[in-house]
């Protein structure tokens, strides 16, 4: 069977500034990651921080040539706030302007549509010190930074994105200890989450005023929550997980309002963030035009076996237990479940409950450890990645047939890059990066990707 995709389907991949650029000697300000690495290097896998990453800053020309060769017609990258405005809200760094101009122009010359994100986990440390997303001053500084980006690069960017997975810094930094400032405090987490949504909505507002041709969206990581069984208690548990981890961002960004159920719940436990009526109005009036969906794995839950200890810190886990479904398929490297149909369930949910918003798969991918063991005749033969991509694309195709408004598929990632806590442990790229020589080589999956674009589908 041949799976054919619509004409102009977006084939590409995603990257982020902090994970690919490397610091370079160009006046970039310090990010949370660089700060954390400087004070606690042992937290990072093999003690490797975000210094060099894949050196995109110096090698972007060669990399874009390889994007072309691997069938990209679109590509998502992010701008580093710390690089563009090193002190957060002041002077613009000309070296950064030149760099991003070069990259964007190079993409366009190669017929690759630039998709550009404004924030991919890389909070400027100076902004963190001023309170991060808990601070109104930081929110305004971010909106200013966004405007500078729109003015500088405007319509040369096909699609703009305010945030990548904004819930992850909330989880990592304020609940589960895997991002700086590694605090555990739900009420502050809720304030950070709210501050991000507000910063997002204010940015959409500023964007609309400019009347650009390009679109603005947000990228959310959606994790469908599946209950263990079809009984009231498990269903309730799954609903809680959905409220906390999906609808907390999806609803305000796409529907313009938080789920009433979530507000009631946080009120009951005295965890509601501080906000004004005016904030809610801004959120209401500035929903997105385009949604990027990052999908890696689902969340499986069951009813709580024991009531949460009221003395322990308040966490979403007060309302459900994780469920390790027997027989589920696990990627042994990253420990994440592989469940291809999840991508279909998300797209159908967006079709039915989120005004069938224009969307695309903005990240999906498979991290693999020690990938050099799959090198055959100088090339990584990553047949498992090709299977992974096909498995998910079949379900994207199915959703399309059933009326989903999905416009493309982007893999995480292009060139192997540095990952937040895991360094270079898991490789995700279509293109291998040799860390000693920094040389690039196209993997089997890169060739597959080229054919995918060429035929606009696969068998
Ligand atoms: C997503 C992030 C990416 C990327 C990816 C893979 O959540 O948007 O930045 O890192 O996950 O995850 P990891 O690198 O943790 O294996």
> In this model, does residue 297 exceed pLDDT 70?
yes
Average pLDDT over residues 350-379: 97
> What's residue 310's pLDDT?
85
Q: What is the DSSP string of 22-45?
A: --TTS-PPPBHHHHHHHH-GGGSG
Q: Tell me the best of 170, 178, 296, 412 to mutate to test the pocket of ligand 1, counting ligand atoms within 8 Å of each CB and taking the most.
A: 412
Q: Which domains does the chain have, with CATH numbers?
A: 3-458 (3.20.20.80)
| Residues across the chain | 459
Q: Measured from the CB, is residue 164 less than 6 Å from ligand 1? A: yes
Nearest-CA residue for ligand 1 atom 12 is: 419
Query: Residue 249: which pLDDT band, with cuts at 50, 70 and 90?
Result: very high
Name residues whose C-beta falls within 8 Å of residue 455's C-beta, 6 or more positions apart in sequence: none
Q: What is the mean pLDDT of residues 425-448?
A: 97
Under 8 Å CB-to-CB from 343, ≥6 apart: which residues? 295, 361, 364, 392, 395, 396, 399
Residue 419 CB less than 6 A away from ligand 1 = yes
Active-site hit among 363, 369, 376, 459: 363
Res 217 pLDDT > 70 = yes
Alpha helix segments (H runs only) across 183-290:
186-209, 232-242, 248-250, 260-268, 277-285
Compute the average pLDDT of residues 196-224.
98
- As a whole number, the mean pLDDT across the chain is 97
Place of tokens 């606009």: 456
Per-residue pLDDT band for 25 (boundaries 50, 70, 90) equals low
Contact indicator for 336, 363 with CB cutoff of 8 Å? no
Residue 240 has pLDDT above 70, yes or no: yes
Rounded to an integer, what is the distance from CA 74 to the centroid of its chain?
A: 16
Verdict on whether the full-model pTM lies above 0.95: yes
For 404, which DSSP code?
-
Across residues 50-78, what is the average pLDDT?
97
- The pLDDT, as a whole number, for residue 24 is 72
- Identify the residue whose tokens are 């002041």: 90
Q: What pLDDT score was predicted for residue 23?
A: 77
Return the structure tokens found at 110: 């190669």
Distance in angstroms (rounded) separating the CA atoms of residues 360 and 291 = 7
Choice between 310 and 13, residue whose per-residue pLDDT is larger = 13
Task: Using the atom order of ligand 1, give the atom closest to the CA of residue 367.
Answer: 16
**ipTM confidence score:** 0.98
Ligand 1, residue 421: give the atom nearest the CA: 15
Is 324 annotated in the active site? no
What is the rounded distance in angstroms from the CA atom of residue 82 to the CA atom of residue 92? Answer: 10
Taking residues 2-30, what's their average pLDDT? 94
Distance CA(394)–CA(390), nearest Å, equals 6
Cα 298 to middle of ligand 1, angstroms: 15
Which one-letter DSSP state was computed for residue 451?
Answer: H
Angle, alpha carbons 307-312-316 (nearest 5°): 65
DSSP string, 54-104: T-HHHHHHHHHHHHHHTT-SEEEEE--HHHHSTTSSS---HHHHHHHHHHH
- Protein residue closest via CA to atom 15 of ligand 1: 419
CB of 16 closer than 6 angstroms to any ligand 1 atom:
yes
Note the pLDDT tens digit of each residue in 104-126: 999 999 999 999 999 999 999 99
């Amino acid at each position: 069977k041949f799976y054919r995709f619509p004409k102009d389907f977006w084939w590409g991949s995603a990257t982020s500034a902090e994970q690919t650029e490397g610091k370079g000697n160009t006046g970039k300000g310090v990010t949370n990651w660089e700060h954390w690495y400087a004070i606690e290097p042992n937290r990072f896998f093999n003690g490797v921080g975000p210094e060099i990453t894949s050196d995109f800053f110096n090698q972007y020309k060669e990399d874009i040539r390889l994007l072309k060769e691997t069938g990209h017609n679109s590509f998502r990258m992010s701008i580093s706030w710390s690089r563009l405005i090193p002190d957060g809200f002041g002077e613009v760094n000309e070296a950064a302007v030149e760099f991003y101009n070069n990259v964007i122009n190079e993409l366009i010359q190669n017929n690759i549509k630039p998709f550009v994100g404004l924030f991919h986990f890389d909070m400027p440390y100076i902004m963190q010190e001023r309170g991060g997303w808990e601070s109104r001053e930081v929110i305004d500084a971010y909106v200013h930074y966004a405007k500078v980006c729109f003015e500088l690069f405007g319509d040369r960017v096909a699609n703009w994105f305010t945030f990548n997975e904004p819930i992850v810094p909330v989880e990592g930094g304020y609940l589960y200890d895997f991002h700086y400032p590694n605090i555990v405090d739900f009420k502050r987490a809720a304030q950070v989450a709210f501050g991000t949504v507000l910063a997002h909505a204010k940015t959409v507002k500023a964007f609309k005023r400019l009347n650009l041709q390009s679109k603005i969206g947000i990228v959310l990581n959606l994790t469908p929550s599946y209950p263990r069984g079809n009984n009231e208690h498990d269903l309730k548990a799954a609903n809680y997980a959905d409220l906390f981890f999906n609808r907390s961002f999806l609803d305000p960004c796409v529907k313009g309002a938080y789920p009433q159920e979530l507000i009631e719940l946080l009120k009951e436990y005295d965890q509601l963030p501080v906000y004004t009526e005016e904030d809610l109005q801004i959120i209401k009036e500035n929903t997105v035009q385009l949604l990027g969906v990052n999908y890696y794995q689902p969340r499986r839950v069951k009813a709580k076996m024991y009531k949460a200890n009221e003395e322990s810190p308040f966490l979403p886990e007060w309302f459900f237990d994780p469920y390790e479904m027997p027989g589920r398929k696990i990627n042994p490297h990253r420990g994440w479940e592989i469940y291809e149909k999840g991508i279909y369930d998300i797209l159908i949910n967006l079709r039915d409950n989120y005004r069938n918003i224009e969307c695309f798969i903005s990240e999906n991918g498979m991290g693999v450890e020690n990938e050099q063991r799959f090198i055959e005749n100088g090339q990584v033969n990553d047949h498992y990645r090709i299977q992974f991509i096909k498995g998910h694309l079949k379900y994207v195709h199915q959703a399309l047939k059933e009326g989903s408004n999905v416009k493309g598929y982007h893999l995480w990632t292009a060139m192997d890059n540095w990952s937040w806590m895991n360094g270079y442990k898991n490789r995700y790229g279509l293109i291998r990066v040799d860390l000693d020589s920094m040389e690039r080589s196209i993997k089997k999956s890169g060739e597959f990707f080229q054919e995918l674009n060429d035929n606009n589908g696969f068998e």
